[in-house]
Amino acid sequence: MTPAQLQNVFEWFTTAELLLGRLVIFALYLIGLWTLGRGIFFPACPLPSSPGGLKMTRILLLVLTLCLLNISADAIAKDKKPIEWKTGTLLDARTERGRRTVPINGQYQQLRDDQSYYVIDDGEKYTYLVRRSMTSRRDRPLEVTINGPIKFAVDDHDILLLDEKGKQHRLAIEQKALRQVDPESRK
């Protein structure tokens, strides 16, 4: 077998193993729910009909649910594809100040609603206009240099951006445009 075929077989077994593991965990969860009130697996646990038994049953049910959610979250996190970082050029950055009216305790208050816009050239095919909302008092525009290199990754309708300190930020893509090519470079 070639290395590519071995890799495909390995990926299939990993996926099947993950699916089988999820099914086993779900079956154990259902068995746990069924036996909780009967005192089968938990003989020290009082029955729900006794005083304090209902509270203990709810606690055990909560623990089983949290365990299942934790395992499911780990499985989902493993399914995510790795981030493909690109280096582009930050062409422009600007901030627009704004206010929003929100009802708080029966009164209307004006709160911050600033928007920062960044234009990123990926150096290959596209230019992106991305937006970052700043609603908290602590929110500041990103520490980036205009006309400088910037690391980013496209993730569906968002862009992940690394500022100059290496901190990751998620920004919404407002516009995606094909790069304008100089007529002289076509010749």
Q: Name the pTM for this structure.
A: 0.56
Residue-wise pLDDT for 115-172, tens only, equals 999 999 998 889 999 999 988 888 888 899 999 999 999 987 899 999 999 899 999 9
C-beta separation of 118 from 142 below 8 A: yes
- Give domain limits for the chain: 3-79, 86-179
C-alpha distance from residue 126 to each of 120, 140, 170, 181 (Å): 9, 27, 18, 11
Residue 89 in this model has a pLDDT that exceeds 50: yes
Mean per-residue pLDDT, 78-92: 82
Residue 185 in this model has a pLDDT that exceeds 70: no
Identify the pLDDT of residue 91.
93
Residue-wise pLDDT for 36-63, tens only, equals 555 554 555 555 555 555 566 666 666 6
